[in-house]
Amino acid sequence: MKKCLTLAAIYATLTRPLVAAENFTPPASPRATFNFNPGWKFFKSDVTNAEQVAFDDSKWSEVSAPHTYNDTDSYTQIISHSGGDRHAYAGIAWYRKHFKLPTNTKDGKVFLEFAGLKQAGRFWVNGKFAGKYENGVTPCGLDLTEFVNFGETENVIAVKTVYVAADHCDAVELFVNGKSKGVVKSPMNGYIFAFPEIKFEAGKISAVAKANGKIVTQNEIETAGAAKRLKLTPHTNPNGLQADGADVAFFDVEVVDAQGRRCPTDEARVDFKLDGPAIWRGGYNSGKTNSVNNLWLDTECGVNRVAIRSTLTPGTVTLTATRDGLEPAKIQIASKPVEIQDGLAH
């Protein structure tokens, strides 16, 4: 009898907490989560001192995360539908965000979490280097506690991505003004060669790719000078613009320096004037509402693209691009006559 009572007592002791747990209400968590997706400033190029708090990013594009920094590049290039997009940008880009933290959070820890980052990144908080990331498209996070301010003092986060894209090679060497910055032989994802801590210098930067010790490809870019003029480049089908009421011609508009080099930091309005037998179809600014089909368009990294549509009338089409302070650009193309039989173009 005594043995049975002991077992019953043990059973009762074990089951009481389980019953009580069903009605347990956990205390409120002291953790506060802030949505950092909106309100990032973005610039698709390298910029000196962009990690500093006082840096002026007021003219940068405003984007929200998730954000693909080269999502519109194929819009400025010919798209090969059999082989994917061409000439997508794969260089340096900057993101900056301004924010404040409540005073009542100063006794806690502050973490910044990214759901994904491609391919490598450097992080600065209030001008101080806070960490780096080099691990492909995966989540990452940083402990920002020692870097941030609380209360009314603003914080600034700066993120810089740095990498060179190359395929069909086993090593890439990077040069800045003729000086080697090292050789990378272990690409991420098979084609992304990361070069950390490369500081901006005016001049030339080049990448040389090798396979089995032999150079297979190389590329060089040069710092552009001050913006001097506008440049227009037409793109039509191989037979030219057809006056069938449906054909489309594209025009790249670029801001270039005195030597004709594109100015990659330019981002400002260009106005257009169209004359001749064509219909204006305009262009598009990434992330900007009401930017379609206007007779103006902002450049993005010094370039953008506009379109016109032919009418049924052949003739000379003239496009003029202007901006105060720059030499204008004017170009003409012919809208060629098309034989139409029974409503069909031949």
Residues 197 and 289 in one domain: no
The reported pLDDT for the residue numbered 21 is: 52
pTM of the predicted model as reported, rounded to 2 decimal places: 0.54
The answer to whether the beta carbons of residues 78 and 293 sit under 8 Å apart is no
If asked whether residues 237 and 326 sit together in one domain, one would say yes
* Boundary residue ending a domain (199, 222, 245): 222
The verdict on residue 249 lying in a domain is yes
Residues 157 and 177 in one domain: no
- Give the total number of structural domains in the chain: 3
State which of 197, 222, 247 marks the end of a domain.
222
Give the angle subtended at the CA of 266 by the CAs of 262 and 267, to the nearest 5°: 135
Q: Do residues 59 and 142 share a domain?
A: yes
Domain holding 173: CATH number? 2.60.40.10
Of 162, 189, 208, the one marking the end of a domain is 162
DSSP line for 174-209: EEETTEEEEEE---BTTTEE--TT----SSEEEEEE
Report the chain's terminal Cα–Cα distance, integer Å: 106
Consecutive 10-residue averages of pLDDT for the chain (346 residues): 37 44 69 82 82 88 77 48 52 85 84 75 85 71 86 83 78 92 83 76 89 92 91 95 95 95 89 97 86 92 94 96 97 92 67
pLDDT at 8: 37
pLDDT value for 137: 64
Closest CA to 327 of 235, 248, 242, 231: 231
Answer yes or no: do 93 and 179 share one domain: no
Print the domain residue range for 170: 165-222
User: Are 93 and 132 part of one and the same domain?
Assistant: yes
88 and 44 within one domain: yes
Check which CATH number belongs to the domain holding 151 and give it: 2.60.120.260
